[in-house]
Amino acid sequence: MVTRWYWVRHGPTHQKAFTGWRDVPADLSDTDAIARLHDFLPSQALIISSDLQRAVTTADVLSQGRERLPHDRDIREFDFGVWDGMHFSQVAQRDPELSRSFWENPGDIAAPEGESWNAVAQRSSAVVARIMAEHKPRNIIAVAHMGTIMTQIAHAGGMSPYEALGHMVEPLSVTCLEYENRVWRVERVNHRP
């Protein structure tokens, strides 16, 4: 039996800075895009979201007719620590070597007072394993964040973190990962219905 994870990135936030655990709202004014996304996603599915409001509100508009699971903080975006809210150029100026290594050698490198790729991958993969153990194989929609989704692309595709970072994951896009016979497969990334 097949389990399909439909990872949806929350609606746009229009932030021009690192946005991790800062709780900023999503712009859900593009009702046509949301309607297309709603119709594209399987109707018989569980839906879960991060507990940050941009994911919660996006999941709320997609949950009509679907079984809603409680929000889960373990599928939050990266905790960017002191970088959260800073423009990328400010981060590069403040921590030039660390910020470059953060993107070029993802793994154990973390933002100051933040968390690493490996930490995010571990906590989000634990949620995936728990949901799959609690529910028979089925469709699962997870409304989350770019970084979280990229960790799952890497896991399912057997990619390095650096390779996964090469993918685009735009707001209101769908990344579909399939699990069958103990094997993960990347079905689609950054699909915009």
pLDDT tens for residues 84-137?
A: 999 999 999 999 999 999 999 999 999 999 999 999 999 999 999 999 999 988
pLDDT tens string 19-36: 999 999 999 999 999 999
Residue 51: CATH number of its domain? 3.40.50.1240
Q: CA nearest 19: which of 54, 48, 49?
A: 54
| Predicted confidence (pLDDT) at residue 186 exceeds the cutoff of 90 | yes
Residue 176, pLDDT score: 98
Domain that holds residue 35: 2-191
Taking only the tens place, the pLDDT of each residue in 42-73 is 999 999 999 999 999 999 999 998 999 999 99
Answer yes or no: are the C-beta atoms of 31 and 172 closer than 8 Å: no
Compute CA distances 193 → 23, 79, 112, 154, whole Å.
27, 29, 37, 23
Count up the domains in the chain and report the number.
1
At residue 74 the predicted structure's pLDDT band, cuts being 50, 70 and 90, is very high
Mean pLDDT of the chain: 97
pTM of the model: 0.96
pLDDT of residue 136: 84
The residue whose two tokens read 């692309």 is 153
Confidence tier at 187 by pLDDT (50, 70, 90):
very high
CA distance 177 to 152: 8
